[in-house]
Homo-oligomer: A and B are copies of this chain.
Amino acid sequence: MNTIDQRIISCLVANARSSYADIGKVVGLSAPAVKRRVDRLLETGVLRGFTAVVDPEALGWGTEAFVEVHCQGNIAPARIRARLEPLPEVVAAYTVSGAADAIVHLRAADIHHLETALERLRGLEIIDRTVSTVVLSRLLERPPTPDRNPE
Residues of A bordering B, CB below 8 Å: 1, 6, 9, 12-17, 44-56, 58-61, 64, 66, 77, 80-81, 84-85, 88-98, 100, 102-103, 107-110, 113, 116, 133-146, 148-151
Contacts and interface: CB of A to CB of B under 8 A. Distances in A.
A137 B95 contact: yes
A147 to B, nearest CB: 9
A127 to B, nearest CB: 13
A146 B13 contact: no
Contact of A50 (B16, B92, B136): B16
Contact of A54 (B47, B84, B142): B47
Given A53-B49, A53-B51, A95 B135 contact: yes
B45 A97 contact: no
Contacts of A146: 54, 59
B59 A95 contact: no
A68 to B, nearest CB: 8
A13 B44 CA distance: 21
Contact of A139 (B15, B84, B142, B144): B84
Given A46-B58, A46-B59, 8 more contacts: A16-B52, A17-B50, A47-B54, A50-B50, A59-B146, A61-B144, A80-B139, A92-B140
